[in-house]
Copies of this chain bind each other. A is one copy, B any other.
Amino acid sequence: MVQSTKSIQHSSLIYLPELRTIQQLLKHIETFYHVSAEAQQAMHAFLEQVVLSKNEYLVKEGKICRHIYFLEHGALRGFYNLDGKEITHWFAFEKDFVTSFHSFITHQPAVENIQLIEGSVLWAISKENLNCLLNEYHDIERLVRIAYEKYYIRLEERFVNAQFKSALERYQNLLSQTPHILERVPLGYVASYLGISQETLSRVRGRL
A interface vs B, CB < 8 Å? 82, 87, 89, 101-102, 105-106, 134, 138, 141-142, 144-145, 148-149, 151-153, 155-156, 158-160, 162-164, 195
Contact = CB atoms under 8 A, between A and B. Distances in A.
Given A138-B141, A159-B162, A149 B148 contact: yes
Return the 8 tightest CB-CB contacts between A and B, nearest first. Answer: A163-B195, A162-B163, A148-B148, A138-B138, A145-B145, A159-B159, A162-B162, A141-B141
A159 B153 contact: no
Prevailing SS type, chain A contact patch: helix
A162 B156 CA distance: 12
Contacts of A158: 159
Contacts of A162: 159, 162-163
